[in-house]
Amino acid sequence: MTQQPKGYPIATLAGGCFWCTESEYRALDGVLYTRVGYMGGKTKSPTYQQISTGTTGHAEIVEVTYDPEKIPYADLLRFFLTKAHNPTQLNRQGVDVGTQYRSAIFYHNAAQKEAAMQAIKDAEASGQYNAPIVTAIEPASTFWPAEDYHQQYYEKYEEQNGRKHLRVILKKQGKLK
């Protein structure tokens, strides 16, 4: 889908590099649309170049529009905390280091805030991690869309980044739609 559908809820998540997080969510049944951008900082209309300095306060985020009849918000959060990224890494994901790569759930209403708090409690109680979860829960603020070349990055450039080969393998294993 090339345009964001109207009338559906949005989940806003920061889990490191937005290329990776967006790619994970686009593969889920019930996700209708995604776009990447920046949230949580002080600079208006930031660019990727500005964000990359780590001085604007923004996080790289993915905005997920979803059908709650097919995938409830709680399931999106569970996936975020247990599969999409490592929520125990403070201001980083793997080799990507800086506050722009922090782990955060940006809520749009009180119900999302409550669901986020519960999801973190559940993930901590699961015993999956040997370190505390550092995912922040923050109110959603202005969404600044990332530049066009960042949108659906892995789909646009899958030949160059090796994801095409990985996608074929995962489809054969039944792990990807």
Going from N- to C-terminal start, the domains of the chain cover 10-172
DSSP state of 155: H
Q: What is the pLDDT of residues 44-93, one digit of tens each?
A: 999 999 999 999 999 999 999 999 999 999 999 999 999 988 999 999 98
169, two tokens: 């393998």
Taking the C-alpha atoms of residue 139 and residue 52, their distance in angstroms, rounded to an integer, is 22
Residue 134 has phi, psi (to 5 degrees) of: -110, 10
Give dist(CA 22, CA 64) in Å, integer: 8
173: Cα within 13 Å, side-chain hemisphere: 8
Residue 73 CB: number of other CB atoms within 10 A?
Answer: 20
- In a 13 Å sphere around the CA of 166, the CA atoms on its Cβ side amount to 11
- DSSP strand pairing (103-107 vs 136-139): parallel
Q: Which residue type is seen at 174?
A: G
pTM surpassing 0.95? no
Closest CA to 88 of 58, 129, 123, 116: 129
Identify the H or E element spanning 168. Answer: helix 163-172
Domain 10-172 annotated CATH 3.30.1060.10: yes
pLDDT of residue 166: 46
Interior angle at CA 164, CA 160 and CA 166, nearest 5: 120
pLDDT mean over 156-168: 51
Helix (H, G, I), strand (E, B) or coil at 49: helix
Pairing of strands 59-66, 10-15: antiparallel
Q: Which is nearest to 123 in space by CA: 169, 88, 73?
A: 88
Q: Which of 11, 13, 14, 17 is catalytic?
A: 17
Query: What is the tens place of the pLDDT at every residue in 25-47?
Result: 888 999 999 999 999 999 999 99
Q: Does pLDDT of 159 surpass 90?
A: no
Coil, helix or strand at residue 100: helix
CA 51, 52, 57 angle in degrees (round to 5)?
Answer: 40
20 catalytic residue (yes or no): no
